[in-house]
Structure 1
């Protein structure tokens, strides 16, 4: 029987696989998976004994009609070269390697390809996964991918050239937001009054409440600012400082990350050159 295959069980791969299994969107017996270090799968095997654990990538490739590749970007080419002769053109491969275009991927496997950029927030079934499909992916195949990732949050279909900016706004954003809040909290500690734990708790709870307010109502970001900051008040004073400093910081952030993404694509173009 053809199965749904998974190669790789790193931080993001394990999160997605466990999310799939806990949601019930696929049956345990539908899955076959492997990873470079098989003992890492012991806990998964205890929790989901009907999942088939394969000793190597080739067995997974042979048995799978749909195949998820969850290895690091630098290892994708090696894995594809290893399994390419064991795949049919009807196999549908889904991968999550940032910077690796479907065009380069298709130089080794010229079949159905979907690219997904998930988010750490998928761990709590929130956030957005970015998805793109190549022309060979049929409607049924696309629906399969979208249904899988919908159990872990929202899915946004994008063009491939939107991945770099989209990843800044989704996949990378939890780190950016956490860093901003960390620095915000650290500055407050210089004024005394609260412990780090107390300050972080207040900021995190306020972040959660603000996100929930925006998500549950028709309020926009601008609306929230207007509701909190009265003219000539304390909050407005703080906003004036942010407005004078932050735009240039964020402009530089996007310029830097998009340049890095472009550099990675160029490097991979050379690596995948035929």
Structure 2
């Protein structure tokens, strides 16, 4: 029986563990978890899957699990690796989902460890998201295959160079929130200019988003192809497209500048922490 461990059990760990069980990637009995606090996610998951094994501490998870997901805040990852160094033997496979913490950072603390980095998306809960994965050179072929195969059941898997992980995360992990924020403003503008109800406007935009996605994925449209199909020259839609093309480049340039700046700030904190841990 392959044991799959979770250290830290918030919303994303719950999503991953639940999806593994739902897709029969793992059984509840194959999951071992440790959470320093019995939060609502932990309580709900354990109530639903009471045969899940609970560990007494983080080291027990690493000791018993072949694959261990670290689902903690970035600044908690490296101290955890250092504290558990005695049980992190070379055959252990550790998967970190923390932004700003690279596989190199973890290997600097535990050089022989097999380390993968994984960035999930909330959209994988409905089977259509993209999971980003990067592997350190220390990871065996069998472990890379296991991780990638496991997440293919969640949706689409992309293995990429870790140097591209941050900006790619904006497109996969962050974009559902960004898209929701953009279209929330579209809804608010519509409400200011009509007598439609919130529910009516939300339903209209919701189905338009779903339909647009299906056209792009299932009908093999490109963005430009869809624009050409819908926006007749001189027509009403063309007005909106022209405004978007004029105003949105600056918005998205600033968006990426801000998110990449946040990543850079987090990495500086991790580097400072690493120097302290290794000194």
Work out the CA distance in 1 between the residues paired with 2:216 and 2:202. 21
Which position in structure 1 is the counterpart of 2:76? 75
String of CA shifts for 1:71-128, please: whole Å, max 9, x gaps.
1112112322222212211101011001111111112222100000110111112210
Contact kept in structure 2, 1:2 and 1:63, CA below 8 Å: no
Q: Report matched runs for 1:179-258 at 5 Å.
A: 179-258=181-260
Deviations 1:171-218 (A, max 9, x none): 100011001100111111111231122111100110001101111112
Report what 1:47 is aligned to: 48
Query: 1:135 matched to which residue of 2?
Result: 137
Q: Is the 8 A contact 1:118 1:130 kept in 2?
A: yes
Aligned to 2:5: 5
TM-score, normalised to structure 1, is 0.95
Aligned to 1:231, what secondary structure does the other structure show?
coil
C-alpha distance in structure 2 between counterparts of 1:2 and 1:235, whole Å: 54
Deviations 1:132-178 (A, max 9, x none): 00001111110111112112111100001001110111110001100
SS for the counterpart of 2:259 is helix
Q: Do structure 1's residue 64 and structure 2's residue 74 form an aligned pair?
A: no
Gaps of 5+ in 1: none
Task: Give yes or no for the alignment of 1:19 onto 2:13.
Answer: no
**Distance in 1, Cα, partners of 2:100 & 2:180:** 23
Distance 1:7 1:79 in 2: 10
Question: Which whole-Å CA distance do the structure 1 matches of 2:38 and 2:237 have between them?
Answer: 54
Q: Residue by residue, what CA displacement relative to the aligned partner does 1:21-46 show, whole Å, maximum 9, x if unpaired? A: 11111122222111112475343233
RMSD: 1.5
* Mapped partners of 1:38, 1:201: distance in 2: 37
The normalised TM-score by structure 2 is 0.93
How many angstroms apart in 2 are the aligned matches of 1:75 and 1:53? 20
Q: Which runs of 5+ in 2 are unaligned?
A: none
Runs of 4+ in 1 over 6 A off after TM superposition: none
* Corresponding pairs, count: 274
